[in-house]
Amino acid sequence: MALDSETLDHLIDTTARFVRERLVPLEAQVARDDAIPEGIKQQFRDLGLFGLAIPEEYGGLGLNMEEEVRIAIELGRTSPCFRSLIGTNNGIGSQGIVMDGTEDQKQKYLPRLALGELISSFALTEPDAGSDASSMRTIAKKDGAEYVLNGTKRFITNAPHAGLFTVFARTSDPASSKDKISAFLVEAPMPGLSLGPKDKKMGQSGSHTCDVIFENCRVPATALLGGAEGVGFRTAMKVLDRGRLHISAVCVGMAERLIADSLAYAMERNQFGQPIAEFQLIQAMLADSKTEAYAARCMVMETARAKDTGVTVATEAAACKLFASEMVGRVADRAVQIFGGAGYMSEYGIERFYRDVRLFRIYEGTSQIQQLVIARNMIRDAKAAA
Ligand code: COS
């Protein structure tokens, strides 16, 4: 549902103030401790931020895509680990249920996900199946009224905190086609489900990933998402289309934050007797960053609005993810350059953002996968039109 403009403005203002007043001051602490304080998690719950994209009838805010990306841009203006806290419940961890779950599955999980009482994760990637998601090896074998899961999922965001996993597995032998991939809603803890140690990452401290290992893990047949075998891969792709747009919005917010910090620094830092912002070579960097971030913002808003009309936006969402994630990488690189030596020092935080944003070009589909999706869809559409 679309909120009335006053309610939406209030939500955006409240989120922006929360980011500015509560989250930004905690960035260094969270990076150092690799943990978000409990009180802050509670504030995310109180503001309803775990349920942005969950329909109202299941206790969420039921934002449409345009509204969601506007909030994601605000959340993007601080360390990405904060957005990641609510990212899976709003995105890849819940949308499979929203899109393809049975009514019982929706009733059972969505209200708790919306409240942030339950954390969800999306378990698609495996040690030997990253970009080539359909080559996954995890197997779910039917045994009476149960499925028995075996396999390992890798780099699973929020897995150390998750009480619910959307797990993608083959419901027939590993050599068979993607038509045999199914999705399961697996609760944790569960006998046969174990977690690897937390991964040590390049950035995004405070957000955690780890392996999720299934060894003869028995789940009831009712755990099959949507009650249908063989449609899991399409569910994953639809969920990722949406997720890619959300991540693009986060990239826009992060870029705008870095541009604001770079501009403020350039205006106060004096060299050769004047603020460095007066030098045209610095101005060129500021202008390029501003222009690219603006372009990404326009792409994201336009694609979100199109999605809200019911149009398929797989190509456009991939184009947004490709451009916005590469763009924020360039903006972060220029921010380090404008800050100079200070940009390389951890106390200024700019080098931390430079490391944090690197992930955007990789997860929810690498830039190369976005290129592949865009070009394949172009060729498909041209053939269909011929
Ligand atoms: N929406 C709905 N259905 C989709 C879809 C989409 N966006 N994209 C693909 N499908 C469907 C296809 O229509 C096809 O169905 P049919 O067999 O009925 O035609 C099926 O899914 C298989 O699609 P495809 O043949 O394109 O699959 P491929 O294995 O060739 O590759 C890519 C698909 C590479 C695009 C996919 O594996 C991918 O996105 N990989 C990246 C995975 C990723 O993002 N990982 C990040 C981890 S999650 S944080």
Ligand 1 centroid–CA 240 distance in Å is 9
Query: Does residue 367 have its Cβ closer than 6 Å to ligand 1?
Result: no
At residue 180, the pLDDT reads 86
pLDDT, tens digit (0-9, with 9 covering 90-100), for 66-87: 999 999 999 999 999 999 999 9
Q: Which atom of ligand 1 is nearest to the CA of 240?
A: 44
The residue whose CA has the least distance to atom 49 of ligand 1 is 364
Query: HSE on the CB side for 162, CA within 13 Å?
Result: 36
* Residues contacting 118, CB < 8 A, separation 6+: 89, 109, 112, 163, 164
pLDDT, tens digit (0-9, with 9 covering 90-100), for 220-239: 999 999 999 999 999 999 99
pLDDT, tens digit (0-9, with 9 covering 90-100), for 175-196: 556 668 999 999 999 999 999 9
Q: Which atom of ligand 1 is nearest to the CA of 314?
A: 7
3 confidence band (pLDDT: 50, 70, 90) = confident
Task: Name 110's bridge partners.
Answer: none
The residue whose CA has the least distance to atom 10 of ligand 1 is 234
pLDDT, tens digit (0-9, with 9 covering 90-100), for 106-148: 999 999 999 999 999 999 999 999 999 999 999 999 999 999 9
* Residues contacting 66, CB < 8 A, separation 6+: 2, 301, 304, 305, 308
Q: Is the pLDDT of residue 12 over 90?
A: yes
Token representation of residue 72: 């994601």
Query: Does residue 125 have its Cβ closer than 6 Å to ligand 1?
Result: yes
Of 94, 128, 134, 383, the residue with max ligand 1 atoms within 8 A of its CB, to mutate for a pocket test, comes to: 134
At residue 178, the pLDDT reads 62
Tell me the pTM.
Answer: 0.96
Quick one: average pLDDT of 375-384? 98
Q: Is the pLDDT of residue 1 over 60?
A: no
Residues annotated as catalytic are 364
Single out the residue of 72, 75, 74, 47 nearest to residue 61, CA to CA: 47
pLDDT, tens digit (0-9, with 9 covering 90-100), for 311-367: 999 999 999 999 999 999 999 999 999 999 999 999 999 999 999 999 999 999 999
Mean pLDDT of the chain: 96
At residue 114, the pLDDT reads 97
Task: Name 213's bridge partners.
Answer: 152, 194
pLDDT, tens digit (0-9, with 9 covering 90-100), for 251-292: 999 999 999 999 999 999 999 999 999 999 999 999 999 999
What distance in Å separates the CA atoms of residue 20 and residue 36, rounded to the nearest whole number?
16
Query: Does residue 85 have its Cβ closer than 6 Å to ligand 1?
Result: no
Ligand 1 centroid–CA 183 distance in Å is 14
At residue 174, the pLDDT reads 58
Q: Could you identify the residue written with the tokens 């549902």?
A: 1
* DSSP secondary structure letters along 183-219: EEEEESS-TTEEE-PPPP-SS-TT--EEEEEEEEEEE
Ligand 1 centroid–CA 178 distance in Å is 9
Query: Does residue 177 have its Cβ closer than 6 Å to ligand 1?
Result: no
Walk me through the domains of the chain, giving residue ranges and CATH numbers: 5-115 (1.10.540.10), 120-230 (2.40.110.10), 234-385 (1.20.140.10)
More confident residue, 3 or 366: 366
Q: Which atom of ligand 1 is nearest to the CA of 366?
A: 44
Q: Which atom of ligand 1 is nearest to the CA of 244?
A: 44
SS3 165: strand
Cα diameter, the chain: 79
What distance in Å separates the CA atoms of residue 238 and residue 166, rounded to the nearest whole number?
14
